[in-house]
Structure 1
């Protein structure tokens, strides 16, 4: 060993904390337990600059990390015990996987000597490693304290390169306690993004500049492409369409920004589609024909061919490709025939249709938008207002709308929104939940109170699992079962935690209550009594796609 380099004796837990600091992690969401004692002690001793937010349930810790990652694009970390702790966090990990969120799960195992023996050690479950591998992009285990920095660095390299998805690290309790001598660690470089193929850019430009009715579809992989994407849309006179994960990349104040529902009836006329960083679910649902040319750009090659071979498939980062394509289109002086009036009319007609048909959800969302600042963030839920928010809530920046993507995780919203607000203390965040979904993680009200996180939570209370009841009514002859709820008084519930509790009647009442919440400090819960019978079905604009 070199003698001119400063070395330090650290525990494995210390090495985990130093790795988090090396990668600029400032918050750990977690719930301590015996296999993590050495880690939490290290966070106390060495975690200068790292805030620990401890939750009432492991799912809360994991959802909060999801919210922090989804709303910032940066890695977020949660720590839970093995076995039941990891299992409790599973729904949030699967949601992070669906959303492409940079979430790091730090957990432990049974003692090294007990791994795989099936002796019934505390918190032992069969094949925890396999479980974690199924829910993450990458998994690693440190088998000695000396291995911890390398394993942690690889976890962050995986988070920061390629397609964003969660990763997991296991550190056995004896390894967390073990000591080793470490030289100062240097953060390794993140692998470079793939170079953009110039010939592919040429081919894509030729198709798009020859198109009469082009369309651009975007997902979470294009969130960092916004300014160039807006200019490209103007050059091509193409609407930019997103379902949930790409909302706000082109702000909804622009004529070129469409929700996927606006595009339902326009798809049949599209001749060239450019898909950037998206699973492109629309391609499978709306259909294709021989007259449609598809250009797919994704950093994850399997995604490009998942729905069948495109006319042109390009492995690239969406923002890098967009910048190259825009530069080429501008260099050629190309400007498509002006379609702004047509694009604006689609938006205007759709807004009018919502006003006439999807009520009162549309008015509730307009009340929220009227008060929420432009840089604010809305977190949805699997609830009647949340479903409509996917296509009716105006989003003004790429991280302004947080949803659960294809996982559709009932109950994710409230705890996820706590993580969003914790990671964005200077922004206003509103969570919308139904009474059923809210009660999944309701105990995390204690986190709001203890940490004084200024989240505003709106609970639309109808006394039912509303969507279940609607399905039972319409498809099962009103044979209602397991859909009715027994609720607390949500205002009194909030107040019992020391949180401001308000009740609002109707959209105007909600707007006033939000203004009151935003005028004060600390967290607020607003209960909005509603009736499922009064809610229009949101599904005609989610499933009413026009198939070619």
Structure 2
């Protein structure tokens, strides 16, 4: 069946058809005055029985892009985000930063203000806002975050532009792309070009040079204290088992630093937690595998003479202006292929050196986990509401297949220490730094994994940033129930911590004047209930925690979004400035 008229179509119809043919399933849309031709094309599709791509209405653009980001994080498949001219593009805000830093493929389309104003062409300016939305360079709002941006200038090559956009978005390193089109162009009726959607695939994955792989294997085999540091190898879920196999065969421990996904099972004997610095400082071979910042140079560095390998799709982090990591080899390669290369070259049989390294690493891992246990046990025994006790209680209520998002920021490491995940695809974080991603991100993940229980753990500041009025409206409208657990410490702890790192004991620290105090007066479950009929409660006593969390999990199992807000000790008691 032909999915567009056989001889002619509008540019807007060709745009939608090209996305459909490329496999895009969802349009996360916030429509505006620039989209009449697109809306008409979608309506005509529905009349002809074409239901894809499905439209997911999003009252805020930040949530729309975050949802597309979450969907791509699970599936690797780019979805489309439609926004309104310059103002809708501006409302994407930090979400486009997140998508860029996380290297997720997303297709963003925005209209441009009409370029005729005397009735010369269909779609020309017809309201005063068309003048006010005319900017000198709309693309500048996102240019430093997108891999490619362009403007549709004629409908005659729209399928080719969509093909190029998605090809660039999905080629490593993946990322968002941005396409625009004015109303006059979108309304243009043109002959339908013949374009094969299956000939616009991403660039092929690249292995490492064989000589480098052989040198890496030899160095790891001979090492006294080797170390693998990773943050997002598990984005390709099949790579997790490969890393486990390499680590076991070579007796090499793994640290997940600032984990975006699960890259190594947390209960594995060779897992050494999330802090690389004690081990980096003593390592003689370090493999930085799919990680942006394997260690903080001001905290620890490998000793002189240590061999360092950086393996990444972008080993020089070309999108970050100030970044460097001295290494013996910077290797631009696909991590999964590199692990295959290592496994293919490893000789059969037991290696006593590997067994010794594995035993030493396992002992270190046991010490780390024992310390975590002691810290949490003390809080549990005392009945304190802390990130550790909340994570421990959640861990006792969910199964190993539950998907957990962690955007708790300053206490995110505490969450992973006490809520360990073991299966690929059950842990997600945000490699970007624009807080609030988990609101829409959790919805996109639930959309991609509808049969999974999804739990998002956030801070109170994160909850505000997530645009909850839009997040919970979408959750209720489209049946995307997620349990959100808010760790409410009454403010921005990351800001306080950074102040103390730089001015410990200074005037702000001595007098509790951090200006981070958000109080603990907001009814977070009430906000979600008002926006999307979510259920929930606020917990102020440890003895009520388990029942509240259990009820929240029951709610999402029944298809209802839920929010459990947990009041922790406040980080500041600063009085407000008089205003």
TM-score by length of 2: 0.83
Aligned: 1:408 with 2:463: no
Q: How does 1:429-468 map to 2 (within 5 A)?
A: 429-440=454-465, 441-444=467-470, 445-468=472-495
Q: Structure 2: which 5+ runs fail to align? A: 118-128, 380-385, 573-579
Q: Would the alpha carbon gap of residues 384 and 160 (structure 1) be closer, same or farther in structure 2, given more than 3 Å must change?
A: closer
Cα pair 1:64 1:415 within 8 Å, conserved: yes
Which of 235, 241, 260 is the aligned partner of 1:227? 241
Cα pair 1:370 1:511 within 8 Å, conserved: no
- Give deviations 1:187-214, integer Å, cap 9, x for gaps: 2233222343222221211211111211
Cα pair 1:367 1:507 within 8 Å, conserved: no
Aligned: 1:34 with 2:33: yes
Task: Find the aligned partners of 1:469 and 1:160 in 2 and give their Cα distance.
Answer: 38
Task: Find the aligned partners of 1:82 and 1:251 in 2 and give their Cα distance.
Answer: 44
How far apart are residue 294 of structure 1 and its match? 0.5
Helix, strand or coil at the partner of 2:98: helix
Which of 124, 135, 142 is the aligned partner of 2:134? 124
Q: How does 1:143-542 map to 2 (within 5 A)?
A: 143-187=153-197, 188=199, 189-221=201-233, 223-224=235-236, 225-245=239-259, 247-261=261-275, 263-282=276-295, 284=297, 285-303=299-317, 306-330=323-347, 336-357=354-375, 360-383=386-409, 385-386=411-412, 388-389=414-415, 392-405=418-431, 407-440=432-465, 441-444=467-470, 445-468=472-495, 476=508, 477-481=511-515, 483-485=517-519, 487-496=521-530, 497-505=532-540, 509-519=544-554, 520-533=557-570
- Give deviations 1:489-544, integer Å, cap 9, x for gaps: 33444443422223445566444333333334123323334233489xxxxxxxxx
CA RMSD of aligned residues (A): 2.9
How far apart are residue 289 of structure 1 and its match? 3.1
Helix, strand or coil at the partner of 1:314: strand
Q: Would the alpha carbon gap of residues 45 and 25 (structure 1) be closer, same or farther in structure 2, given more than 3 Å must change?
A: same
Q: Would the alpha carbon gap of residues 315 and 529 (structure 1) be closer, same or farther in structure 2, given more than 3 Å must change?
A: closer
Which of 49, 53, 63 is the aligned partner of 1:50? 53
Task: Find the aligned partners of 1:89 and 1:249 in 2 and give their Cα distance.
Answer: 29
Q: Would the alpha carbon gap of residues 352 and 247 (structure 1) be closer, same or farther in structure 2, given more than 3 Å must change?
A: farther
Task: Find the aligned partners of 2:109 and 2:164 in 1 and give their Cα distance.
Answer: 13
- Give deviations 1:456-483, integer Å, cap 9, x for gaps: 1112334434444666786512125362
- Give deviations 1:129-151, integer Å, cap 9, x for gaps: 22322111222222111121111
Helix, strand or coil at the partner of 1:453: coil
Aligned: 1:106 with 2:109: yes
Q: Would the alpha carbon gap of residues 246 and 488 (structure 1) be closer, same or farther in structure 2, given more than 3 Å must change?
A: closer
Task: Find the aligned partners of 1:368 and 1:479 in 2 and give their Cα distance.
Answer: 34
Aligned: 1:142 with 2:168: no
Moved more, 381-390 or 178-187: 381-390
How far apart are residue 184 of structure 1 and its match? 4.4
Cα pair 2:284 2:302 within 8 Å, conserved: no
How far apart are residue 453 of structure 1 and its match? 1.0
How far apart are residue 395 of structure 1 and its match? 2.4
How far apart are residue 425 of structure 1 and its match? 0.9
Helix, strand or coil at the partner of 1:265: helix
Task: Find the aligned partners of 1:524 and 1:454 in 2 and give their Cα distance.
Answer: 4
Cα pair 1:382 1:433 within 8 Å, conserved: yes
Cα pair 1:382 1:408 within 8 Å, conserved: no
Task: Find the aligned partners of 1:44 and 1:514 in 2 and give their Cα distance.
Answer: 42
Moved more, 444-453 or 89-98: 444-453
Moved more, 425-434 or 298-307: 298-307
Q: Would the alpha carbon gap of residues 272 and 443 (structure 1) be closer, same or farther in structure 2, given more than 3 Å must change?
A: same
